Amino acid sequence: MNTSQKEPHIVTILVAAMGGEGGGVLADWLISAATAHGYPVQSTSVPGVAQRTGATNYYIEIYPVARADLGGQQPVFSLTPSQGDVDIVAASELVEAGRVLQGGFVHPKRTTLVASTHREYAVAEKMAMGDGRYDGTRVINAASDLAMHSHLFDMRALAWKHGTVINTVMFGAMAGSGALPFSREACEQAIRESGKAVDASLKGFAAGYDHVTKKAVTGHGQAAPSTAWKTVHPKLASFAEPLRSVAQHGVELTTDYMDARYADLYLERVESIQRLESHSAGDYPISTETARYLALWMSYEDVIRVADLKTRSDRLERVRKEVGARADEPVLLTEYLKPGLDEICSLLPTGAATWLRKKLAHKAHKLNVGLHVRTDTVRGFAMLCVLRSLRAWRRKTSRFASEQALIDRWLEAIRQAQCTGSRLAYEVALCGNLVKGYGETSERGHSSLTTVLKDVEAWLSLTIEKRDAHSIEQAVARVRSAREAALVDPEGRALARSLGLPPPPVRSHPIRIVRRPKPAKEMTL
């Protein structure tokens, strides 16, 4: 070796992927490309949960000198990465990138970070009563501060666009960053030698490479902007500018959920709030938050909505993309449903639903059984289509009546609170975030909101003389504390403590013991 040149160092690569995204294949491509150059290479992996979204780390070390030039010597490799000692970090999801950043593996004077900005939400994020999503901007800001070079973009959208898997785009982005110790041609040859989905993988590789090297056209690889919200409702012209965008989304959502008449009702309700806020300065925070949560609430999830969403062509197409199915490949799709007495009663008129609940309350747990519906078959798909067709019937159901009654109660509390001050009305409007989800989650949210509204209504019943500045401030703090407590503890215990109420009764969950039938004895002839 030429001692006058700078001594080469071991190139360290950390791939933070999730199960099912081809992180192991990406590691194999890197090893193949290094081997083609004759470079010594070592790879280790730390597998996570053996299913999709299970975090998995792949660690590769490459010494960029051909073995023939080493004079019989061998580099000493490590089995695990060291903090601040990684040259290239590749992450297949934004929070995965955050995990690596938090681990200290990214150094501002050494590390090139390549990561996808899309999200795969964790179970904890989905279970949260409020908006449990992690703030992705924190990861993006940390990446710009902690990495020497960072390349962050939506790799999943780019992969789907080219009919491939995200690992191909990651590989291309790593090569395009210039941090790998071998050429683009070597990377592409590694893909060819793998012999699996070569054409699609090369397209994904090229897309990732071009995006990083700025050779792609503007907007290349980004998700196409949605055109779902372009419909303009005549009434929106009378809305304040800060409110119009949110209200337009609400119009589209409620129209899609029911019909244009339902969207008119949505706008009438929002307008009643805006009318009382029209003389205030600012961006109409009360009306905006009311419009936001009202649209979601009026589009509550019921059996009809679930069937509607599961039978849409765009949903079926999205499933095919996620599993990587070609146009000529069949996809077996099984829907897991668990209807119970509540779901059955929600489709009936109020009188019939009340009678049926009393009749079958003692055996409700027996009616809650799991169903496996094959929607790739005519029979299964037709069953969901029948449920979807009940959308016109929804206005006559008990669920619809109860939801609208509570909505009107919430809106009236906001209007009454506006007469005392905008801060209290704003906190009451935010309480619309308590209602969400399906089944028991929705039931708990309704119970929490009802409890908060009772407390607000009790305060609003006070005489005007008792509503001084100090009392209003206490009411604002009380509503805020109650809402936050309800979001933290869906069971309602924290909410009860916040309002000084007795704890709610413990919900019973009967345990069903099912005995397996004895297998029939085989007869030997």
User: pLDDT digits over 285-323, tens only?
Assistant: 999 999 999 999 999 999 899 889 998 888 888 888 777
Mean of pLDDT values over 508-521: 65
Place of tokens 């360290």: 12
Give residue 95's region: left, alpha or beta (phi > 0; psi -120 to 50).
alpha
Give the other-Cβ count within 10 Å of 103's Cβ. 15
Distance from C-alpha of 188 to C-alpha of 475, rounded to nearest angstrom: 65
The residues pairing with 336 across neighbouring beta strands, listed in sequence order, are 372
Question: Rounded mean pLDDT of 496-515?
Answer: 77
Helix axes 23-36, 184-194, angle to 10 degrees: 120
pLDDT score for 47: 67
Count how many residues are written for the chain. Answer: 525
pTM: predicted TM-score of the whole model, two decimal places: 0.69
Q: Which segment of 47-56, 70-79, 345-354 scores lowest on mean pLDDT?
A: 47-56
* Residue 166 amino acid letter: I
What pLDDT shows up at residue 90?
93
Give the residue, 506 or 500, on which the prediction is more confident. Answer: 500
Q: For residue 478, give the nearest of 452, 451, 454, 503 by alpha carbon.
A: 452
Q: Which residues contact 178 (CB under 8 A, 6 or more apart)?
A: none
User: Is the model's pLDDT at 217 over the cut of 50?
Assistant: no
Average pLDDT of the chain to the nearest whole number: 84
Least confident of 10-24, 234-248, 401-415, 508-522: 508-522
Rounded Cα distance between 151 and 286, Å, is 39
Q: Which domains does the chain have, with CATH numbers?
A: 11-212 (3.40.920.10), 303-396 (no CATH), 397-504 (no CATH)
Q: Closest Cα to residue 344, out of 408, 284, 399, 413?
A: 399
Q: What is the pLDDT of residue 171?
A: 95
Q: What share of the chain is helix, strand, coil (3-state, %, to 5)?
A: 55, 10, 35
DSSP secondary structure of 300-368 = ---HHHHHHHHT-HHHHHHHHHHHT--TTS----EEEE---HHHHHHTS-HHHHHHHHHHHGGGHHHH-
DSSP 29: H
Predicted pLDDT of residue 122: 78
Q: Which phi-psi region, left, alpha or beta, contains residue 499 (left: φ > 0; alpha: ψ -120 to 50)?
A: alpha
Tokens coding 2:
């030429």
Q: pLDDT band for position 368 (50/70/90)?
A: low
- Band (pLDDT 50/70/90 cuts) for residue 522 is low
492 vs 499: CA distance, rounded Å: 11
The span from the CA of 258 to the CA of 268, in Å, is: 16
471: which 2 tokens? Answer: 């009392």
Q: Above pLDDT 90, what percent of the chain?
A: 44
Question: Per-residue confidence at 105, pLDDT binned at 50, 70, 90?
Answer: very high
Asked whether residue 277 carries a pLDDT value surpassing 80, the answer given is yes
For residue 153, the one-letter residue type is: F
More confident residue, 326 or 263: 263
The closest alpha carbon to 380, from 307, 449, 437, 447, belongs to: 307
Residue 221 — φ and ψ, nearest 5°?
Answer: 90, -10
